[in-house]
Structure 1
């Protein structure tokens, strides 16, 4: 067949177009295939990520579930113990004899039956979880919990490190849990529990313990103390909680000075307080605190409508009489003796020196003998060194720092932030030594303090007992080393120190070169002429 040139040209164009279409189709197919591959890859990647995320979520949920299950099992185990046979009278008698416990009750009150097991506590199960850290109640807890949970006034006297914070903390929280807070208003304030402490650090420590236990019940605590701005404390008092809006501030833990300051500004209403605690009560009622304490207590509910608890390691006669003016027929639990007694788990060594000039050398020698390394961060080798004056504490700190030791300081010349930082670094083990004045002598629970060194003897034998009580806490054993020169006020305390040593099974023959007389205990404000039968009067404030 014959074809013209035009027809051939048209056929070539059609063929070329067809080839182009086929080529485009192949290209499109390839692109579609690549797109599908990309989409499939993305989908697979997303699936893997979602799978991993799902596994992580499952792991987190599983861990959370395991924690809840363990807590639930712990509560069930504790609850199941309550089905055990209650302690027999013979067991209770043996417990009281073993720990040398004396319980004084009013003639009209029924005798106290101690709680020898945590399961005996009539408290909500979620609150029982605190007991997981302990084998059994401490003696002061076992004997003060029953009357405190019944709403009676209590005085607890026990050696340092015996668990007094939980002795009043558990009854306080149990009372708050059983009575929901009223809506906040001036006519019905939410603050119903007040804990007074002599030092800022002790107030903060108690606040943190109560806050941790109370959060699960929506109960918040506020720490009120000086040396820091008031703004944060004011917000907490007004129930302005940033972290958790469900919390209601129902507990104040504070020092008298800042508390009075806030009260005078109208920022702190104590008219609803029906549960009052004086921690380290012997100091709160002596050494110049008494007038402040009376003023604060007068703003709480009347004595007959208020439950008042007092705890201390020492209980002098003058303070004992004064405490009676704030309480209604209190149950008094004494673990050991009403007289001054040291922690029985602390080995006491007293070195009598001719003068103060050799103290630095003796201190360095003892640090080496105790095996304390200069840059030590070992949590079990911490040593607390007590000085009498702020300038002395600062000088000793500088000397130790020059010798290459990792050391901190805690005294009144430091800002509150620096004090808290020094205490936290010592607790965490970042610094192995802490030089402090008596602001650190009372109540502070610093774990694993291996030894206490008294560089200078304190002004009273009570402070000596509180100082050495910073070691040997929570059932552990500790060691105290004391430098005694007989200078200034020390000479008159030799007799009392010798008695404390003898009562604890220790001796220091070199003390006998000083007078062994023991002075009668006197009140810090009234001396030996203190009387408790004089009614307290309120002073009229004169405004100029």
Structure 2
């Protein structure tokens, strides 16, 4: 294993070494360079990729459209990609910039392969360091939820372990003791903001040598009120001149722009799927069906749909899964018990359950031993669960944004999916926002939904209600001179 590690380090360092011998440099594959400009242009257009580079003209970085175009060092860990035909659009577009140590903002739908998009450059950057300099935390990845952090950690371990790097996952809801021990021997930390801040406060996590920082689901973390924690975490890493900062986000609101302008150095912005505005859009591969009904018919219709899709009480029905979303924790518990009483094999995941129970339910759902999962919005973001055939919104969420992320649990990695949503008069104030999402994804809008109106309720501020004015804080003030 020692010889293998040294070979990997030597190859990676060679492929990344710049003329000055210190900084890493990306060398474009000869086969990629030979492609015609028209072929590259067609690829970008077909995948809906838009790249905005403030250094445009100084670099000619082409998307890595095939795995064979990865650098020699990156190919060392290419076993991870054996099950994929080609890089996803976000991977193809971001890799050349990330390998070049550029700061990158990726705006893309969920399920687009973002973890490996930042994971491979992260690993390669650490391997480019001399072996004596690899001790301590060299990279930190922050995500909004425990479930997403665990998922990212699982993917990164597949990249890190074969090349002799250690990766730790820290999150709340479990004891800190083992996390403290693992932090001392790890080069990569995947964490939720709150727990990482706690460990930093007690000096158990030293990020001062971390030259790679990634915020996954940045918009969600800001929505959940983690902005101060994130700023503290980034400020504790290596200085901006040495640090490579990466943000992945489903939307591009002003709060994320402000964070990027503070901590990032001339970032490349890459939008995937033709979403050049950064506004939240539903995955067009997901067929959305909205059923308008009265509340008392929801339980009957739910069981009817489950029986229609499959007899999930049979043990041989493990290839497809159905994810059922409820709004509140108590409602999720009640629905889980109700579905089980009808003879179905079902599990649950929500905030009232212990972390161990949540992990157990999620693993059972992933491996197919339990094909039905009832969840709150704790499972709406970022979770990559294979073979989710249907997402069923038993209760509509509080916002259209949460709706888009819920249905994004299906139709992942280029596959098609389906979402069925129950909509009642209790949610009529959200009809306009839902109709906009349906139309934006070219989905059919039922006549019953149109009756509730198409007006989109004005966004409210947590302190000032609906009477606040959204402003771009990056815009320079105009000087006014009075006589």
TM-score (norm 1): 0.76
**Is contact 1:193–1:252 with CA below 8 Å preserved after alignment?**
yes
**Match of residue 116 from structure 1:** 65
Instruction: Tell me which of 443, 449, 455 is aligned to 1:517.
Output: 455
Q: Map of 1:343-422 to 2, 5 A cutoff?
A: 343-354=283-294, 356-422=295-361
Going from structure 1 to structure 2, the CA distance change for 1:112 and 1:404 (only over 3 Å counts) comes to same
Instruction: Tell me which of 211, 222, 242 is aligned to 2:157.
Output: 211
User: 1:208-255 CA deviation, whole Å, 9 max, x = no partner?
Assistant: 11112111211010000011111211111122xxxxxxxxx1000010
Q: How many residues are treated as equivalent by the alignment? A: 439
Does the alignment pair 1:532 with 2:466? no
Instruction: Tell me which of 468, 471, 478 is aligned to 2:410.
Output: 471
Going from structure 1 to structure 2, the CA distance change for 1:97 and 1:83 (only over 3 Å counts) comes to closer
Does the alignment pair 1:142 with 2:79? no
**Match of residue 77 from structure 2:** 127
Instruction: Tell me which of 151, 169, 188 is aligned to 2:119.
Output: 169
**Match of residue 424 from structure 2:** 485
Query: By how many angstroms is 1:474 displaced?
Result: 1.9
* Structure number, greater radius of gyration: 1
**Match of residue 334 from structure 1:** 271
Instruction: Tell me which of 174, 178, 193 is aligned to 2:139.
Output: 193
Structure 2: unaligned runs, 5 residues or longer: 1-28, 477-483
**Is contact 1:472–1:478 with CA below 8 Å preserved after alignment?**
yes
**Match of 2:264, SS?**
coil
**Match of 1:137, SS?**
coil
**Is contact 2:31–2:69 with CA below 8 Å preserved after alignment?**
no
**Is contact 2:311–2:317 with CA below 8 Å preserved after alignment?**
no
TM-score (norm 2): 0.86
**Match of residue 313 from structure 1:** 250
**Separation in structure 1 between the aligned mates of residue 188 and residue 69 of structure 2, nearest angstrom:** 25
**Separation in structure 2 between the aligned mates of residue 205 and residue 447 of structure 1, nearest angstrom:** 12
Instruction: Tell me which of 89, 92, 96 is aligned to 2:37.
Output: 89
Q: Map of 1:50-89 to 2, 5 A cutoff?
A: 86-89=34-37
**Is contact 1:314–1:462 with CA below 8 Å preserved after alignment?**
no
**Is contact 2:208–2:237 with CA below 8 Å preserved after alignment?**
yes
User: 1:406-464 CA deviation, whole Å, 9 max, x = no partner?
Assistant: 00000010011100000011111111100011111111111101100011111222211
**Separation in structure 1 between the aligned mates of residue 196 and residue 247 of structure 2, nearest angstrom:** 18
Does the alignment pair 1:268 with 2:189? no
Which stretch of structure 1 is more off in the superposition, 359-368 or 107-116? 107-116
Going from structure 1 to structure 2, the CA distance change for 1:273 and 1:522 (only over 3 Å counts) comes to farther
User: 1:8-43 CA deviation, whole Å, 9 max, x = no partner?
Assistant: xxxxxxxxxxxxxxxxxxxxxxxxxxxxxxxxxxxx
Structure 1: unaligned runs, 5 residues or longer: 1-80, 240-248, 536-544
Which stretch of structure 1 is more off in the superposition, 304-313 or 391-400? 304-313
**Match of residue 12 from structure 2:** none
Cα RMSD after superposing both structures? 2.2
Query: By how many angstroms is 1:373 displaced?
Result: 2.7
